[in-house]
Structure 1
Amino acid sequence: MEYTHLGRSGLSVSRLVLGTMNFGPETSEGDSHAIMDRAHEHGINFFDTADVYGAKPGEGVTENIIGRWFATGGRKREKTVLATKLYLPTGDWPNENRLSALHIRRACDASLRRLRTDYIDLYQMHHIDRNTPWEEIWEAFGVLRQQGKVLYFGSSNFAGWHIAQAQEAARARHFLGLVTEQSIYNLLNRWIELEVLPAARHYGLGVIPWSPLHGGVLSGVLRKQGAGGASRGDSGRSADTLDRRRETIAAYEKLCADLGEDPAHVGLAWLLAQEGVTGPIIGPRTVEQLDGSLRALAITLGDDTLARLDELFPPPAPNGAKPAPEAYAW
């Protein structure tokens, strides 16, 4: 396993992040525990979850599954860099969502109980809260850190401007501030390259891409269809993307075939090659899917391949020639 620092912090994390969203709704508790065991066997030490994962808001299904796994012993908690999130509704009563000081306190304590631990390594804001001042948010987070309940803080789905606001407010309080940003990022969705990725690099945040294969569209969906198999990429919103980008996806799968690599592994390897990316979140539903993902760490994409990928999936640039973050400037 390869490791890197979590943003500008001194914390070492694996370059693949185990996503746990499927634990409960798609993957049984027993299979979820097996996946986490195998992750440790592979050296994956960075696990990502959220208080709303598990398809039953307010119950924390996925956090409970992880907590019961920690409780089986074997220094599982000590070997894990644990990240969870707050913001989305955990109930239908006032103050059971967003980032008020009250909800931050209650949400953190509830996650600690479910996860059966006394601290969270990385506590992430699932979304920006435009109605709560940063002074309140950082004061509440500061209390959690002083109490030893949280070590580091991160954001998710923030704009570049939100990252700047957060960091400057933290700087005024002489506070470490954010160390990570978790954003959707993949070959089909490169919008964070315009402002979010440059802001993260400037402020020393590690970027954690979610949906690295765009809901399965980049996992070899056309090949699987041709073989009569099913794929996440041919249903729901992913199917709409596939319909619109079928020709591009076909060319991508041909490129991967010419390389002798699985499209899913190439998609992950491309993210790992991007400056500022800590590691993409993989969300295996089975142990076998987890095992397969490790191939991405062994793939080195040459300059010609990277250039061809840019041709197939051009980076966003409103004014054409200038690279981000100068794409808007003229």
Structure 2
Amino acid sequence: MSHVYQPVMLLELLKSGGEASIEQIAKAMLLHDRSQIEYYEIRTKNMVGKVLTNNGIVDPVKLAGRIVGYRLKDISNMSAEDRSTLIGQCEGKIADYIEKRGDSIWKHRFNAKGYVPGSVRYEVLKQAKYRCELCGASAAEIALHVDHIIPRSKGGQDDLSNFQALCITCNTNKRDTDDADFRDVAKAYAHREKGCVFCEVSADRVIAENELCYAILDGFPVTPLHTLVIPKRHVSDYFDLFQPELNAMRRMLEEMRSDILNKDCSVSGFNVGINAGEAAGQTIFHCHVHLIPRRDGDMPNPRGGVRGVIPRKQSY
């Protein structure tokens, strides 16, 4: 058994005399899906509960200073007939609203271009070490979602570099401020500097790219197949990169490493280096990572590797 879904479906079929509709089975699965319950718990507390409390219709029920439920005001003064009338009015309002709005009511729960495949979800969660990439919560403690960094509605693609792992709380809170936050994020990722050689690199030099970075062969290679991995956003210092850019560049480095090894079986090692600041030798102030293939015998004594940035300190 890889998940609870199989026994839940079998349980529903057994309870239904051997046959059940897809909707019945889906509802049974929903009852066991803690991530969906948490999603609506957050909306109950942060949205619906606040509105009804502010309008004087309900009071929050608290335990140790924490809201654990809500109580309808004046419920003790209502007759059974009053409650029945109000229930009918609520059901009527729901039916009218659904008839008027249709599926658009739930568009925030739909994926614009279909679901995220399980294989993609696995890669994103594995890359994040099964922790929320914002708060660090573990998948063992809370449900993790695979989230688009740049939303589909703002042009974000279904590319591994555009996904991040977020816990249900961080993802829901981010969604609540989506319009405000991601306009600025999208602008930041789109920033280019006029006259920058890496912002204006010619398309024929690009050997690979994803949502947030690209790769080219170095114009003055230290060794054959010396490759640069470069963020698309104009940012001078490695330490100013956003976490999604770091994730995207790491994936690109792994992809380029595999590509180099497939092209040249004599490669037996790599130097991975970043010049951050003029004192460190940076001459193009658009961050870039050097992936330098190494081969046995390409220099008499390679011991010390990147320590060679200060020659007298390389050997030790």
Q: Which has the higher helix share?
A: 2
Higher Rg of the two aligned structures: 2
- Which of structures 1 and 2 has the larger relative contact order (alpha carbons within 8 angstroms, sep 6+)? 1
- Tell me the TM-score normalized by structure 1: 0.22
